[in-house]
Amino acid sequence: MFIIVLGVTGYPLLQTIWLSFHSRPLAGHDVQADWVGLANFKTVLENAAFRAAVARTLYFTIVSVLAEAMIGVMVALLLDQEFRGRAFVRALLVLPLAMPTVVSAMMWRLIYNPEYGAFNALLLQIGLIDDYRSWLGAPGLAMNMVIIAEVWKNFSIVAIIVLAALQTIPRELYEAATIDGAGPWARFRNVTWPGILAPLSVALVLRTIEAFKVFDIFYVMTRGGPANTTKTATFFVYDESFAFLRAGSASSYALVVVAISMVLIAIYVRLLRRQDQP
Amino acid sequence: MKRILGALSIAAVMAASTVVQAQDIVLQALFMKQTAYSDKDVRDMTNDFEAAHPGIKVNLEFVPYEALHNKIVASISAGSGGYDVALVDTIWPAEFATNQFVDDLTSLVPPRDPIFGGAWKTGEYDGKIWAMPWILDTKYLFYNKDILAKAGFDHPPATLDELTQQAKVIKDKGLADYPIVWSWGQAEALVCDYALLVQAFGGQFYDESGEPAFTKGGALKALQFMVGSIKDGISNPRSTEFLEEEVRNTFSSGRAAFALNWTYMWPLANDPKQSEVAGKIGIVPAPGTPEGSPQAAINGSMGLSIMRNSDKKDAAWQYIKYLTSQETQDKYASMSLPIWKSSYADPKVVKGQEELIKAAETSVAIMYNRPTKVQYQEISTLLQQQIQSALLGLQSPEQAMKDLASQTSGMK
């Protein structure tokens, strides 16, 4: 088992670390690797465009994960209520999750299409805009439009996990709280919230890691445009290796992205530990 | 027993349906699904090739243009078992030859004379041929005859000034909200439109000594023209997220009076099943300026290369030879015009597309090449971003090009 893990994750990781200290073309007649020390990392950290991309990716991560958390919890609370057709609606929840990101990204690109997209048609009909406009071609706006698509795709994982947690909270606790005179908010604050906090945190950790290394949804929807305003950190890894053929510095970009993810994970782990302590 | 019989019959069916025999040579070929020959055309040509060459089979793969370069590179870097034949864009031979991704075809290619010089440029680097020209393509100005007639014009614009002026009238008369549509999304398509305008304004990317020339003269004027046409509302502002297909959709639905696009839009915009403007459109060489070039055309040709790590090079060359032959090209001349000069006098090729051929005669002769650089991909990526930042008003054209010069200094 140890050997399998070592082979599957260890070797590529070590290879990437080794490459990041070398200058080596991705392919070609002369794939000799020259030791360059920390020069690749210097290039990465001094690249203002990359720093901007990291900030952009953090914005994407924070906003989309927060939105997924809020919508996810609200939907879970709704679906925890008894109503007709509940099983059907719960099944619907799985739909966005079951869809490959590339497919949902294509779908949202069509929805946002500036010439015949449904989004334009909807806003025009309810009178919010008076002419069709470009959503993915406008700097500033494009990022937020992709975030909407991302939240649609992923809020249900949060909802499903929270829903499962809600069902483990004993009903007696709610009854007891009601008898003690607790209103809806107090019941949520004192009964529901402690019950869902731990699973919710785990869901958010997973979502944060996923969101920070985002690539596919942007690749399909905007390819980093307009004017790089949706170019996320992972685009630099992709471009550096496959478009510019520099395997060495591409590895450095990749490792910096990993390092930032690890910082995010560390913050979460600390927060979770703190919750455990009374 | 029943189960065994069932299994046996499945095995028999599988054996019978396996057309590939052990001794067959199987080529892996990579093409794009976008502009020029349709994937159906390529499949048909390949079927004909297989029928004429027993013993050789070809597996086809199609990717969008935006993924083609990186797909080739990824396959090369993975070592053996990649593609034998790949479609290569005119901007890549410098990079592919320097890194030895593709084979030198100089000793294999047919004599130069019967094929257009602009086509040869497609695969040429350092005096050698690295890709056999196949798709001879450039961008033309398409126009909607109905809209022009309603606006009171009896001829398409002959200069960019006239294009601007006609577009303004069309907009003022309410015949189109945004008369001109371009492919100005953050992609190579944007560089193609820009380079065409650089030629129109008599500019250049690099001067004779290799110093950047895009910060001044015609190259800067080209960008100023683009920015101005969006500000004036004559160019569709949504162009900044469009590629070729969105240009085709907008033009085919009759919402644009003018569009810049490749040859393939001519048959498709004239197809009543896919277009509301079929039969009402015209095509001319893209207009230029009196101080620059009177007409403009971008070399958007592509060729076929043999990958260095292929171990079936003889069969690969036979396949390339077949696809690029005059006979094959004449047969599929509606989506992409032949590389062969004499085809343009062949009534079978000309019939039904006289207007296109007439425009091609001018445009093909003047096709402008994007810079030949080993690091073209990187320069182009930065160029796309700077052009977009100017188009979207994030900074002035002058500043955008100045930034580009400092970002690309030292790139070869």
Task: State the Cα–Cα distance between residues B251 and B258, nearest whole angstrom.
Answer: 7
Which residue in B99, B187, B385 is closest to A227 by CB distance? B385
Task: State the Cα–Cα distance between residues A4 and A184, nearest whole angstrom.
Answer: 51
Q: Which residue of A has its CA nearest to B75?
A: A27
Q: Which residue has the tokens 């290879």?
A: A15
- Of B143, B119, B106, which Cα lies nearest the Cα of B324? B119
Structure tokens that stand for B260 in this block: 């810049």
Residue A9 domain flag: no
Question: Quick one: CATH architecture of B140-298+373-408?
Answer: 3-Layer(aba) Sandwich (3.40)
**For B33-44, how does the pLDDT look when each residue is reduced to its tens digit (9 = 90+)?**
877 899 999 999
Tell me the pairing of strands B302-306 and B132-135: antiparallel
β-pair partners for B340? B115
Planar angle of CA B288, B293, B297, nearest 5 degrees: 70
Residue A133 domain flag: yes
pLDDT at B371: 94
Structure tokens that stand for B340 in this block: 């062969």
What's the mean pLDDT in B229-254? 95
pLDDT at B1: 46
- Please state, as a whole number, how many other Cβ atoms lie within 10 Å of the Cβ of residue B369: 17
**For B111-164, how does the pLDDT look when each residue is reduced to its tens digit (9 = 90+)?**
999 999 999 999 999 999 999 999 999 999 999 999 999 999 999 999 999 999
Residue B362, class by beta-carbon neighbours within 10 Å (0-12 exposed, 13-18 middle, 19+ buried)?
middle
Q: Which residue has the tokens 């990022």?
A: A143
Q: In B, which residues are within 8 Å of A238 by CB distance?
A: 70
- Phi/psi at B172 (5° precision): -60, -35
Residue A21 domain flag: no
**For B83-100, how does the pLDDT look when each residue is reduced to its tens digit (9 = 90+)?**
999 999 999 999 999 999
- Of B289, B248, B256, B55, which Cα lies nearest the Cα of B161? B289
What's the mean pLDDT in A179-202? 91
DSSP B296: E
Structure tokens that stand for A94 in this block: 């799985």
DSSP A191: I
Q: In B, which residues are within 8 Å of A225 by CB distance?
A: 185-187, 240-241, 384, 388
Q: Which residue has the tokens 């001879």?
A: B136
Query: Given CB atoms, is B255 within the 8 Å cutoff of chain A?
Result: yes
pLDDT band at B354 (very low <50, low <70, confident <90, very high): very high
pTM score: 0.89
Output the average pLDDT for chain A. 91
CATH (one of 2.40.40.20, 3.40.50.300, 1.10.760.10, 3.40.190.10) for B19-137+300-365: 3.40.190.10
The interface predicted TM-score (ipTM) is 0.85
Q: Which residues contact B315 (CB under 8 A, 6 or more apart)?
A: B25, B27, B53, B56, B84
**Is B186 in contact with A227 (Cβ distance < 8 A)?**
yes
> Looking at the predicted structure, is the pLDDT value of residue B21 above 70?
no
Task: State the Cα–Cα distance between residues B395 and B401, nearest whole angstrom.
Answer: 10
Residue A231 domain flag: yes
**Is A115 in contact with B375 (Cβ distance < 8 A)?**
no
Q: Are A204 and A65 in contact (CB under 8 A)?
A: yes
For residue B94, give how far its alpha carbon lies from the nearest alpha carbon of chain A (Å): 13
What's the mean pLDDT in B245-261? 96
Planar angle of CA A25, A27, A31, nearest 5 degrees: 60
pLDDT band at A277 (very low <50, low <70, confident <90, very high): low
**Is A242 in contact with B392 (Cβ distance < 8 A)?**
no
Residue A1 domain flag: no
Helix (H) or strand (E) holding B260: strand B258-261
Helix (H) or strand (E) holding B321: helix B313-324
Residue A122 domain flag: yes
Q: For residue B351, what are the CA distances in angstroms to A147, A161, B136?
A: 51, 65, 19
Which residue in B73, B250, B391 is closest to A242 by CB distance? B73
pLDDT band at B261 (very low <50, low <70, confident <90, very high): very high
Would you list the domain boundaries of chain B?
Answer: 19-137+300-365, 140-298+373-408
Task: State the Cα–Cα distance between residues B301 and B312, nearest whole angstrom.
Answer: 25
Q: Are B186 and B243 in contact (CB under 8 A)?
A: no
pLDDT at B356: 94
Task: State the Cα–Cα distance between residues B236 and A114, nearest whole angstrom.
Answer: 11
Task: State the Cα–Cα distance between residues A155 and A162, nearest whole angstrom.
Answer: 11
Q: Are A139 and B242 in contact (CB under 8 A)?
A: no
Alpha helices in A140-243 (DSSP H): 141-166, 171-179, 184-187, 193-212, 216-221, 233-238
Give the alpha-carbon dihedral of A102, A104, A105, A110, to 10 degrees.
Answer: 130
> Looking at the predicted structure, is the pLDDT value of residue B318 above 70?
yes
Helix (H) or strand (E) holding B172: helix B160-172
Q: Which residue has the tokens 């007709």?
A: A84
Task: State the Cα–Cα distance between residues B84 and B308, nearest whole angstrom.
Answer: 8
Query: Given CB atoms, is A225 within the 8 Å cutoff of chain B?
Result: yes
Structural domains of chain A, count: 1
The count of C-alpha atoms lying within 13 angstroms of the C-alpha of B192, restricted to the half-sphere facing its C-beta, is: 27
β-pair partners for B124? B129
**For B333-352, how does the pLDDT look when each residue is reduced to its tens digit (9 = 90+)?**
988 899 999 999 999 999 88
Which residue in B99, B177, B240 is closest to A226 by CB distance? B240
**Is A137 in contact with B101 (Cβ distance < 8 A)?**
no
Query: Given CB atoms, is A25 within the 8 Å cutoff of chain B?
Result: yes
Q: Are A136 and B241 in contact (CB under 8 A)?
A: yes
What's the mean pLDDT in A242-258? 93
> Looking at the predicted structure, is the pLDDT value of residue A130 above 60?
yes
pLDDT above 70 covers a percentage of chain B that reads 95
Q: Which residue has the tokens 């690890």?
A: A262
> Looking at the predicted structure, is the pLDDT value of residue B79 above 80?
no
What sign does the CA torsion over B145, B146, B148, B152 have? positive
Which residue in A25, A28, A244 is closest to B377 by CB distance? A244
Minimum mean pLDDT range among B13-27, B41-55, B106-120: B13-27
Q: In A, which residues are within 8 Å of B74 by CB distance?
A: 242
The CATH number that applies at residue A207 is 1.10.3720.10
Which residue in B101, B241, B389 is closest to A137 by CB distance? B241
- Phi/psi at B258 (5° precision): -130, 145
**Is A137 in contact with B238 (Cβ distance < 8 A)?**
yes
Q: Residue A240: give the domain boundaries.
A: 39-276
pLDDT above 90 covers a percentage of chain B that reads 86
pLDDT band at B22 (very low <50, low <70, confident <90, very high): low
Q: Which residue has the tokens 């592919």?
A: B96
> Looking at the predicted structure, is the pLDDT value of residue B3 above 60?
no
> Looking at the predicted structure, is the pLDDT value of residue B372 above 60?
yes
β-pair partners for B58? B27
What's the per-residue H, E or C state across A4-20? Answer: HHHHHHHHHHHHHHHHH
Q: In A, which residues are within 8 Å of B245 by CB distance?
A: none
Q: For residue A237, what are the CA distances in angstroms to A16, A137, A210?
A: 12, 24, 16
Output the average pLDDT for chain B. 92
> Looking at the predicted structure, is the pLDDT value of residue A40 above 50?
yes
Residue A24 domain flag: no
β-pair partners for B285? B140
Whether the domain at B19-137+300-365 and the domain at B140-298+373-408 fall into the same CATH topology: yes
Query: Given CB atoms, is A28 within the 8 Å cutoff of chain B?
Result: yes
